[in-house]
């Protein structure tokens, strides 16, 4: 991303404001495991992907005028969250595939050439975050770290930072990112479609001080069913996150959400209230009144499955995109007519989010009701182009703008 240090400084004062009322959650054992070799033979973990074939229908993708989409990297099975190092290495998590990849455009021609498989047999390593030369990966119950990853692509090893997150696989895969406070934000999804958990770490977003000798999750947000995407507003330093609404209440209820955290410890409604105003038929009576919970800043449609989201901070796209949130909607499964399968953009101004527009569509064949791809995450490259991961087609796309 652009000017990471400036961004950090502009956000830190806000971040310091959060956190005083945080309460700590001591659920796990602390781990200081020795670095261990992982199951990746040195000779086999590097592959040239410049000629890899992608099974995609790019001519179906609709974008605003003067935008263009291409395949940046093919042969990235089950590509999920992405994070980028300062020198442009794109790290990619996966879910059922169990792999973590490093993908590199060696000659800078806008198309990736090399893929390193950094790890295999991990447990749904959906989340990746890069900081200070190290790559962090979230499995279901633990956070692991590949130190000095850039210099160890051929011989990657990891250490366990923390392994006390719950082991439930249901909504157990995690999106992770470092906040402006330098802490790693780690959600813990509800272990069900709809349920009330005794353990308050479920349906939360936590944060972890990965530099501490004793990392312990602190809960930052309660009542979050399953967030698989968040970012911080570059203007205010505030955290925004997507949340996936519950299933089995019909085609159009409840909406998935875009939420805004203004104070640590806020409760966002689940499992009692959905989309700010829909009382849960089973659990609604057990919670407080509607006004006890933070309503979403924007309703994103029922079952659309909003996953990765980032504030656009680049210069390549037209100026109206600057500071907009771009959200990847993975698409529905629990709806009679499919919805989602798009990227959308919204304006964010302070606490307000408005003007949602479809930015990219075409992964779903509406007539046949069949999808050939599903967007998962978005990441901006240094030049302001936008990468999109697709876990169904197993590719990473790159969107560029050429209108000026
Ligand atoms: Ca290249
Ligand atoms: Ca909510």
Question: In this predicted structure, what is the pLDDT of residue 331?
Answer: 97
Note the pTM of the prediction, 2 decimals. Answer: 0.90
Residues above pLDDT 70, as percent of the chain = 89
Query: Region 342-356: what's the mean pLDDT?
Result: 98
Cα of 243 vs centre of ligand 2, distance in Å, is 7
Question: In this predicted structure, what is the pLDDT of residue 7?
Answer: 42
Average pLDDT, the chain: 91
Which two tokens mark 167?
């082991």
Neighbour-count burial of 354, counting CB atoms closer than 10 A to its CB (0-12 exposed, 13-18 middle, 19+ buried): exposed
Cα of 273 vs centre of ligand 2, distance in Å, is 7
Ligand nearest to the CA of 190: 2
Query: Region 369-385: what's the mean pLDDT?
Result: 97
Question: In this predicted structure, what is the pLDDT of residue 333?
Answer: 86
With H, G, I as helix, E, B as strand and everything else as coil, classify residue 129. strand
- Give yes or no for residue 339 having a pLDDT over 80: yes
Lowest model confidence (mean pLDDT) among 14-28, 101-115, 180-194? 14-28
CB under 5 Å of ion ligand 1: residues: 105, 107, 109, 111, 113
Cα of 50 vs centre of ligand 1, distance in Å, is 7
What band does 41 get if pLDDT is binned at 50, 70 and 90? Answer: very low
- Give yes or no for residue 274 having a pLDDT over 80: yes
Cα of 120 vs centre of ligand 2, distance in Å, is 34
Question: In this predicted structure, what is the pLDDT of residue 43?
Answer: 54
Residues above pLDDT 90, as percent of the chain = 88
Cα of 72 vs centre of ligand 1, distance in Å, is 9
Cα of 383 vs centre of ligand 1, distance in Å, is 15
- Give yes or no for residue 307 having a pLDDT over 60: yes
- The candidate with the shortest Cα–Cα distance to 314, out of 383, 254, 251, 221, is 383
Whole-number Å distance between alpha carbons of 379 and 1: 9
Cα of 298 vs centre of ligand 1, distance in Å, is 38
Cα of 109 vs centre of ligand 1, distance in Å, is 5
Query: Region 21-31: what's the mean pLDDT?
Result: 35
Which two tokens mark 273?
């209230």
- Give yes or no for residue 170 having a pLDDT over 60: yes
Residue-range domains of the chain with CATH: 4-401 (2.120.10.30)
- Give yes or no for residue 123 having a pLDDT over 50: yes
Question: In this predicted structure, what is the pLDDT of residue 334?
Answer: 80
Instruction: Compute CA distances 26 → 94, 160, 265, whole Å.
Output: 28, 17, 16
Task: Give the strands of the sheet with 298-302, arranged side by side.
Answer: 230-232, 239-243, 255-261, 298-302
Which two tokens mark 216?
């312990």
Cα of 299 vs centre of ligand 2, distance in Å, is 10
Condensed to tens digits (0 to 9), the pLDDT of residues 182-201 reads: 999 999 999 999 999 999 99
Ligand nearest to the CA of 256: 2
Cα of 270 vs centre of ligand 2, distance in Å, is 6
Condensed to tens digits (0 to 9), the pLDDT of residues 208-232 reads: 999 999 999 999 999 999 999 999 9
Question: In this predicted structure, what is the pLDDT of residue 33?
Answer: 36
Neighbour-count burial of 161, counting CB atoms closer than 10 A to its CB (0-12 exposed, 13-18 middle, 19+ buried): buried
- Give yes or no for residue 140 having a pLDDT over 90: yes
Maximum distance among all alpha carbons in the chain?
60
Place of tokens 């806020």: 266
What band does 44 get if pLDDT is binned at 50, 70 and 90? Answer: confident
């Amino acid at each position: 991303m652009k000017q990471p240090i400036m961004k950090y400084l502009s956000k830190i004062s806000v971040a310091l404001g959060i956190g005083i009322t945080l309460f700590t959650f001591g659920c796990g054992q602390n781990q200081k495991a020795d670095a261990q070799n992982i199951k990746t033979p040195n000779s086999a973990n590097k592959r040239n992907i410049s000629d890899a074939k992608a099974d995609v229908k790019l001519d179906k993708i609709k974008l605003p005028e003067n935008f263009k989409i291409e395949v940046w990297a093919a042969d990235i099975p089950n590509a999920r969250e992405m994070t980028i190092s300062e020198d442009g290495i794109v790290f990619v998590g996966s879910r059922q595939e169990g792999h973590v990849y490093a993908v590199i455009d060696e000659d800078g021609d806008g198309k990736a050439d090399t893929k390193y498989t950094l790890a295999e047999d991990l447990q749904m390593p959906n989340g990746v975050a890069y900081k200070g030369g190290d790559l962090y990966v979230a499995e279901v119950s633990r956070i692991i770290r590949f130190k000095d990853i850039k210099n160890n692509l051929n011989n990657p090893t990891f250490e366990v930072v923390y392994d006390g997150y719950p082991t439930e696989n249901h909504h157990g895969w995690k999106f992770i990112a470092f906040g402006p406070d330098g802490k790693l934000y780690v959600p813990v999804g509800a272990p069900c479609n709809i349920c009330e958990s005794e353990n308050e770490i479920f349906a939360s977003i936590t944060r972890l001080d990965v530099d501490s000798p004793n990392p312990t999750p602190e809960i930052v947000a309660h009542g979050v069913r399953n967030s698989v995407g968040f970012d911080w507003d570059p203007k205010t330093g505030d955290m925004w996150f997507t949340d996936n609404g519950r299933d089995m209440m019909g085609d159009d209820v409840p909406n998935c959400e875009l939420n805004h955290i203004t104070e640590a410890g806020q409760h966002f409604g689940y499992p009692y209230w959905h989309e700010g105003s829909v009382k849960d038929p089973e659990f609604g009576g057990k919670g407080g009144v509607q006004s006890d919970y933070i309503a979403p800043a924007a309703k994103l449609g029922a079952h659309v499955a909003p996953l990765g989201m980032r504030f656009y901070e680049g210069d390549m796209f037209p100026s109206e995109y600057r500071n907009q949130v771009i959200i990847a909607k993975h698409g529905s499964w629990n709806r009679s007519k499919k919805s989602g399968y798009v990227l959308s953009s919204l304006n964010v101004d302070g606490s307000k989010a408005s003007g949602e527009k479809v930015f990219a569509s075409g992964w779903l064949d509406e007539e046949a009701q069949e999808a050939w791809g599903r967007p998962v995450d978005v990441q901006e490259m240094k030049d302001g182009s936008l990468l999109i991961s697709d876990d169904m087609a197993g590719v990473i796309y790159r969107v560029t703008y050429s209108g000026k």
